[in-house]
Structure 1
């Protein structure tokens, strides 16, 4: 029963992966090992993540509304950077985002 569930889980994972990634992880025996391997490959190392977060912080700080840009487009740009920062673990609260938008209109 457990072996069958594990095989089904591995099958679902294999179906959802790009072939280039699949080639590097097919030797894993269980779905748990496969999942853990995928997490490591997609996570990146700490230094790369820190560098990406620093770049996003800098991007957020220098964001300003462009000449002729609609408020909707500017809001979308700010939210994209803020959400990317959140995805890297940064605590970006809504107040900070609203203040940023109002300061740079």
Structure 2
């Protein structure tokens, strides 16, 4: 089971790294999952991700205060807006746009209601 968790953690780190470059893929949720998987599989990997210069602060902000950094909030907002605009440009049906508007507004409300990290 430890190898499975370590493998899942590494996959999550890979997705988080892709998310840094690709604006539509979230980074922080994958880092939080990676930290969880590493905590259950390898102290070495868990300590590495928590102490990492880029990844560690985001994980610790969330663990300690449920906080999201302002830059991450802005990036999420831009990504969410881009998804909605893309749906509009591709001519998504009205009911799909309505569902997206409700869900994406709820996500943004959650993100912006978190304390700043």
Larger radius of gyration: 1
TM-score norm. by structure 1 comes to: 0.35
TM-score norm. by structure 2 comes to: 0.33
